[in-house]
A and B are shown apart, each in its own frame.
Chain A
């Protein structure tokens, strides 16, 4: 326990905190060699593209044009609304997710059904956002014969289905998208809060009570001040940065006619420049990049100030009483509400394709025809196979590169450690849409633009910063005796590294699981860099949404099949993921 199974990001963010790497790590003679793969990847596929984007935003064909592109991009019709919407996303969604996550974590603690509730809430976290989009588009279909939400709205308001506010219509589409996003992310927030609440020493609560503190005092003095303030900041920052991934959701959920009403900067940048570099696209991208980077840095510094290094306490036995019945009912209600969209998806997938497109899913018995159609089709299997190979190879490569780089970085101390920490943190949040054009240029030079190799390279480059951060912290927090033992045991740096890696199994597993699930669930990278030889799953599913209603049966079946593996992996390994991301502690 201790500072927290606060989901690694905590540890990650904490890393810019007061230098705590007092012990000198053994210097590895080959540190530059160890760093080389990571530096090459990040330099070529992140740093250079970012610089190139900066350059493109102030030049036209190499000619300096100053702020002209910025002016043009900001003056373009709809840009103001898009920026506003992006900010709205970054403020509203994290607030809702944080509050809901806290309430559900508190409500599901220490009760029999709490485990089940938490399990149900975690499943959407592991789903590809493409699948989330498919699910909610089915739920919100404007036709009351198919859209359960529209039907319920019509019943509740007593209006004709045509008069009911359209959830996917121009006025409400952003709300609909946000609801889908909240559905997907609350599980993560809840996990973090739950871990945080578990670390609050019960003695503290008792002490507050003993001094005659009310319920509110308990919340304030025993939970908020020592711990929750920081956790809230972390969750808020995480989700705010996460909202830049709404891109997938918008592409899948919005019909073409309302796409502009739903557009955020991610989409706008992609629409203006796709996989090439244009001045206006670059200008928008730079604005966005600066905002995201500033956001993560502010969050990191804020967390640092709010940081009272929590003490490790012995595992606390659940002595406190379980929450009240009303609260527990609330948790159960949330679980049911969270299951509903999943139910809609599965029920739709159990209709034959023609029926799914024309009638309601509750009007006929289940049928496996849609699964049959998908499974016997020519596209699903190659796509599944390719995605599996891609995710496995990328995960292996990321682990390898990150492990090599984390080792020498772990013995940096003082400002050097903080600067690398901040740089890596910014690298984690660089939106891929912004740098797609220059990355394609780099890949073109490396002869792998538009090939599966290029796609894998981009995935590796995007995955490395986070992996390095986590592993570096894990290395740095190893007890000195273990490091010394490894030094003595391994005669060469690789022997030492291997031994040290063995002590870091949990963070390694956590990084591996997250990377695998991320690549498996990806749409944006596949969309920008995929090759004709093989289609990643996300792209395969998103491609089918072009005829959404007509293909809803097979699309739902494909979505279910695509979700099985990431959900299984994530649910099974969720403890290790949480524990592993917490760098430090005595292991």
Chain B
């Protein structure tokens, strides 16, 4: 190669390097949009983009998949955290705040959430997050043509399940219950509703904080109650083994399409699945998760909270704006979403189900937040891990003929052991 050749190559390299630098600089100079990391995807993500389109500054929303915790940890390590993140586990909010990753936030003046929700987002007396969305998780869904009179107490539910189960065994009717036991969170939601009814706010909160005793009476009673219902022969289409391979959506399909089952328990998001897979035009109706007495109606809610990462002024602005009732409007118009903000008037909901649920959220004496989402470390559960796994083992035991006492003993033992390990890790 000649000297000119070499020179040319070097000039080219230098030019390329300069161009790269210029490109990077150009990006940095423009006003950086506020970056928001969310776990949503599909229509949920599209809806949120509509919401933030109303904000005064440009906002970039990135869906980061299911494991937002791993994502944020990696980003924090790299020093490239987003401005805002939406978290559905209040336990994480507190954890991040303690590590100093977050900035304190101040919600809009109109922001008002049910008692018991706001406290979950504070650490050392400071508020580190605001609730943006809510889910009502205490509902049984059924087709009105399949069930004349919904049960109003736990005992009535058990009696109904026995009756329908006997008919199902005889081959003359659908099974009483569909359950997506392949998804651990479905079973933990069952458990939380029963526990909230039995333990009351104090005991429930203690377990959530990590200083309750998992082998104490309320937990045992709650599991006893579940065992009483789940062990009924013929309760589930195809039996317990089949239920453990049924995912949440499929359990709804069993009710609305195959009509193999009469009722399915889960949150307010069931009706979207039902509408998609229903046969005919009949819509699902819902009744509240029954407590021991008619007056006892446990109310478990889930939700998404917005947090701001340290040093982001734009993020603080955005979160304050999001916490205002007015920002929820695109969600109201789309239907199918519930606001945790009591300042959103109940009659502004378009779909009647949501309107009813909003009223229930308002009228409930106590609202309990999803317990498994508050647990720390791996106890919180994911496929094959933590409380998800423990509840699935319990389900397998009671539907497989293991005596209730033995199944409860095994489950409480595992719960206590996992709680100890998780506490150590913290």
Question: Which residues of A are interface residues toward B (Cβ below 8 A)?
Answer: 142, 161-162, 166, 168-170, 255-260, 263, 267, 271-272, 274-276, 354, 357-358, 377-379, 440-441, 443-444, 447-451, 454, 491-492, 495, 529-530, 532-533, 535, 539, 543, 546-551
CB of B77 within 8 A of CB of A257, answer no
Cβ contacts under 8 Å, B248 to chain A:
547
Please, which residue of chain B has its CB at the minimum distance from the CB of A141? B245
**Contact of A257 (CB < 8 Å), options: B64, B245, B382:** B245
Q: List 25 A-B contacts (CB under 8 A).
A: A142-B242, A162-B238, A166-B242, A256-B182, A257-B182, A257-B392, A260-B384, A271-B378, A274-B70, A354-B277, A357-B249, A379-B41, A440-B77, A447-B78, A448-B78, A451-B78, A532-B63, A532-B71, A535-B65, A547-B248, A549-B249, A549-B253, A550-B276, A550-B277, A551-B249
Closest Cβ–Cβ distance, residue B200 to chain A (whole Å) = 30
* A475–B294 CA distance with the chains assembled, in angstroms: 82
Cβ contacts under 8 Å, A551 to chain B:
249
For the A-B complex, the count of residue pairs with Cβ-Cβ distances under 8 Å equals 129
Closest Cβ–Cβ distance, residue B6 to chain A (whole Å) = 10
Cβ contacts under 8 Å, A454 to chain B:
78
Closest Cβ–Cβ distance, residue A205 to chain B (whole Å) = 52
Cβ contacts under 8 Å, A260 to chain B:
384, 389
Which parts of B38-94 form the interface with A (CB within 8 Å)? 41-42, 46, 62-67, 70-71, 73-75, 77-80
Of A257, A267, A377, A551, the most chain B CB neighbours within 10 A belong to A257
- Those 8 A-B pairs whose CB atoms lie nearest each other, nearest first: A259-B384, A550-B249, A256-B383, A444-B77, A449-B78, A255-B182, A532-B62, A450-B74
CB of A543 within 8 A of CB of B66, answer yes
CB of B62 within 8 A of CB of A162, answer no
CB of B80 within 8 A of CB of A271, answer no
* A143–B242 CA distance with the chains assembled, in angstroms: 9
Cβ contacts under 8 Å, A169 to chain B:
241, 244-245
Q: How extensive is the interface on chain B, given as a class?
A: 35 or more
CB of B184 within 8 A of CB of A357, answer no
Interface of A is mostly: loop
**Contact of A449 (CB < 8 Å), options: B1, B74, B241, B389:** B74
Evaluate whether A549 and B250 lie within 8 angstroms (CB atoms) in the complex, with A440-B74, A449-B74 already known: yes
* A444–B238 CA distance with the chains assembled, in angstroms: 49
* A256–B183 CA distance with the chains assembled, in angstroms: 6
CB of A276 within 8 A of CB of B70, answer yes
CB of B388 within 8 A of CB of A256, answer yes
Of A274, A451, A495, A543, the most chain B CB neighbours within 10 A belong to A274
**Contact of A491 (CB < 8 Å), options: B1, B241, B378, B385:** B1
Please, which residue of chain B has its CB at the minimum distance from the CB of A261? B384
Evaluate whether A255 and B65 lie within 8 angstroms (CB atoms) in the complex, with A444-B74, A444-B78, A447-B80 already known: no
Question: Which residues of B are interface residues toward A (Cβ below 8 A)?
Answer: 1, 37, 41-42, 46, 62-67, 70-71, 73-75, 77-80, 181-184, 238-239, 241-242, 244-245, 247-250, 253, 257-258, 273, 276-277, 378, 382-385, 388-389, 392, 396
* A483–B79 CA distance with the chains assembled, in angstroms: 49
* A443–B80 CA distance with the chains assembled, in angstroms: 12
CB of B41 within 8 A of CB of A168, answer no
Closest Cβ–Cβ distance, residue A169 to chain B (whole Å) = 6
* A345–B176 CA distance with the chains assembled, in angstroms: 33
Closest Cβ–Cβ distance, residue A528 to chain B (whole Å) = 8
* A449–B175 CA distance with the chains assembled, in angstroms: 50
* A530–B63 CA distance with the chains assembled, in angstroms: 12
> Known pairs A142-B245, A441-B77. 7 more at Cβ < 8 A?
A170-B396, A257-B181, A274-B67, A357-B253, A546-B66, A550-B247, A550-B277
* A276–B184 CA distance with the chains assembled, in angstroms: 24
Evaluate whether A532 and B64 lie within 8 angstroms (CB atoms) in the complex, with A162-B239, A379-B41, A449-B78 already known: yes
* A168–B247 CA distance with the chains assembled, in angstroms: 13
* A378–B384 CA distance with the chains assembled, in angstroms: 31
* A449–B77 CA distance with the chains assembled, in angstroms: 7
Please, which residue of chain B has its CB at the minimum distance from the CB of A551? B249
Closest Cβ–Cβ distance, residue A60 to chain B (whole Å) = 11
Cβ contacts under 8 Å, B62 to chain A:
532-533
